[in-house]
Amino acid sequence: MMQLTSTHWGTYHYKTENGKVTALTPFEDDAEPTTIGQGILDVLDHETRITQPMVRQSWLEGGPGNRQTEKRGSDRFVAIDWDTASQLVGDELQRVIDAHGNQAIYAGSYGWASAGRFHHAQSQIHRFLNVIGGYTKSVNTYSFAAAEVMMPHVIGDFRNYTYNQTSWASVIANTELFVAFGGVPLKNGQIGQGGVGRHIQRDSILAAHKNGVKFISISPLKSDMDDDVDATWLTIRPNTDTALIIALCYELMDKQLYDANFLDRYTVGFDKFSDYLRGTHDGVAKTAQWAAAICDISADHICHLAVQMASHRTMLSLSWSLTRQAHGEQPFWAGIVLAAMLGQIGLPGGGFGFGYSATNTVGNNFQRNMPIADLPQGRNPVNSFIPVARIADMLEYPGADFTYNGATYQYPDIKIIYWAGGNPFHHHQDLRRLRRVWQKPDTVIVNDWCWNASTKHADIVLPTTTTLERSDIAMSPRDNYFVAMRQAQAPVGSARDDFDILRGIGRVMGVEDKFTEGRDACAWQRWMYDVTRQSMSAFGHELPSYDAFLERGWFKIDELGEPAVILDKFRADPIVNKLDTPSGKIEIYSEQVAGFGYDDCPPHPSWLTPPEWLGARQHSAQLHLLCAQPANKLHSQLDHGSISRATKINGHEPLLINAEDAATRGIVDGAIVRVFNQRGACLCGARVIQDIMPGVLMMSTGAWFDPDITGDSGVDCKHGNPNVLTPDRGTSSLAQGPAAHSCLVEIEPWAGAPVVVTAFTAPDIVPSGPAPTRPRTS
């Protein structure tokens, strides 16, 4: 029997000695394995590992809703046993349900959790909370919320076109010019939701280059495109891609290089957009000269690029990162209009694509939307929700109105936060504010395996297993490899799977049987596989029996015979295959969005000035901070592992700065620097380079938030988490997505004494405490 495990960053064979995993060897089908997974080996029993249930001391002594909630993040913890922990959580959930209703429970539980179809933390917690009457949920993602809400108004859907888009195979064979707004950062393509069998991104882009595809990367950072494809690098002022795209549209129109027949047959609203391009109503023609002043790209370059696009089979790639800025709804909309004007949507190798190499699965070429069974979550009877990035607003302003996609809703009054999988102190912006409002709920419960910022800011911490300490199945509708994930070692301490944790709480609340349906984890996995096997047969895929699958260890689904092309059926017949928009066509102008009346989201693609950008900085000391996905971890996962820690500078997260900007400020390579603005300050290690646009700083996200609880250093994060600096504002009234990339900061050499980073230090633990009574009413 093959001993394999799968993760979001790859599949591995594992080796054990004396009951512990000692080595991970890359899967034989993976020619481009990532090193990220190796980082787990030295932290399975690291001091950050949580080995038994914990309760914050002040909460245990004072009960929920006591006036010691401000100690979240600085208090000691008391170790308790599982029976006590289950009773505490069950009683507290029941208290809040009885006193305030299920809408007072917030279970955003946002994040990538871990690979494995059954032991998916968010699925487990959402199923459990539905069993006990529901919860307030979040909608959309931090990755591309603005597009998730905007694109259905434009092309009728978004998710189907995010992963099910024109494949690399089609690009390799047919594309002549590949224009990448935001680049194609291969470091992001190391990971894939639900598990990765084989990494495809680097091989694909190199094959395209070898076949003659010309690449143009439009980004402030040169490394957003692989050096080996000899791309043309156009530096662009951050947050101005929409202005550039609109100017390209103007040049196509002005030079009569656009496809009028395509626009007539497949789109609506070009007449209104063309008026905007000409400046009919605002008196400003959106020319190359107009955009040059905004984007810091010469007008000649813009004009030349427009001609290049019109004279070649062109693929427009739009990075997910473009949505994470003020007015993040606009870049993707503008990009689709540009592709429509070129008239190549639905043609092999032409049109548009969302986020090539954003994950490993984007651009693969196998059966799309495979019917993979997941853990049934039941129905949530609670209608209360928030846009995912509005959690701090919800906690600070219960009962207040918020707008979202044409309607007005109210923030609920949350009494319990229950988080399982993910890390809000990684994903969210303005962490000083989040830390302050995080003190408001009566109780915060977190299921996790290590002492990160989320667990340190919890009241009850329930220790979970890692993927190496349980069996599961890696099977995803976005990856064609199925992997039997074998348990490699026993759980550390008394850690439990989320399923067993919730089953124990369900026993206290009298819903254990309803939650488990009489199945244990092994029986659920067999059931999910068998359901998948039956469903896949309808697509012509005959999967092996479950027992044969376990014996073999893995198998894969064959790729498609023909390269996939986005919207090819729509192009072939726009009547039979109409889009799910009011017109059935691509909506360049949306009457529906016009009806919403949002000043910050017009009814056609528009350039709207960001609240923070280099074009409006108050003084020359300000620089634009961009926060990239890390190359050495997945979001904040395994930041404490050896692979991530090896890149730190004296324990601090690295920051990229242009050599000219560094010299002006007296910053040398390897120096510790203070990065700051009105929202906060953090310490980082400077990496001085040439290949970043002057005026721009780049930090990876994922450094574990490490607040200075003593206040001695005067910084909000000693470690280097950029989200102490980023603004907590919505992209617009339409989507309310995160706008982290609209962020100005200042930077200076750190003049203080060396600061000890404590991000990877466990809190003080009291070995045992008094048996708690039923939680008291707040």
Show which residues are catalytic. Answer: 110, 112
Q: Is 651 left (phi over 0), alpha (psi -120 to 50) or beta?
A: left
Quick one: which of 749, 745, 748, 750 has its CA closest to 622?
745
Tell me how far CA of residue 62 lies from CA of 65, 277, 330, 437, 777, in angstroms: 8, 63, 49, 20, 11
Query: Are 638 and 644 spatial neighbours (Cβ–Cβ below 8 Å)?
Result: yes
Give yes or no for a contact between 244 and 203, defined as CB atoms under 8 angstroms apart.
no
d(CA 324, CA 752): 33
**Parallel/antiparallel/unpaired status of strands 681-689 and 672-676:** antiparallel
- Cβ atoms < 10 Å from Cβ of 366: 18
DSSP code per residue over 421-487: SS-HHHHSS-HHHHHHHTTSSSEEEEEESB--HHHHT-SEEEEB--GGGS-EEEEETTEEEEEEE--
* In contact, 346 and 571? CB cutoff 8 Å: yes
- Please state, in angstroms and rounded to a whole number, the distance separating the CA atoms of residues 577 and 471: 43
Give the separation between CA 727 and CA 743, rounded to whole angstroms.
7
| Buried b / exposed e along 553-588 (16+ C-beta atoms within 10 A) | bbeebeeeeebbbbbbebbeebeeeebebebbbbbb
Contact at 8 Å (CB) between 356 and 184? yes
DSSP reduced 3-state for 774: coil
Helix (H, G, I), strand (E, B) or coil at 108: coil
| Separation of alpha carbons 652 and 718, rounded Å | 8
Instruction: Read off the DSSP letter of residue 353.
Output: E
**611 close to 291: Cβ distance less than 8 angstroms:** no
Which is it for strands 479-485 and 554-556: parallel, antiparallel or unpaired?
antiparallel
Q: What is the torsion angle, in degrees rounded to the nearest 10, for the CA atoms of residue 179, residue 181, residue 186 and residue 190?
A: -120
Indicate the residue type of 74: S
CA dihedral 21, 24, 25, 26 (to 10 degrees): 140
391, containing H or E segment: helix 391-396
Q: What CA–CA distance (Å, rounded) separates 228 from 231? A: 8
| Among 690, 625, 617, CA closest to 655 | 625
- β-bridge partners, 624: 696, 744
CA distance 26 to 12: 5
Spatial separation of the C-alpha atoms in residues 181 and 178, rounded to whole Å = 10
CA distance 327 to 742: 10
* Whole-number Å distance between alpha carbons of 719 and 710: 15
Q: Are the C-beta atoms of 77 and 53 separated by less than 8 Å?
A: no
Chain length of the chain = 778
Taking every pair of Cα atoms in the chain, the longest distance, rounded to a whole number of angstroms, is: 79
- First vs last C-alpha separation in the chain: 54
Consecutive H or E run containing 594: helix 591-596
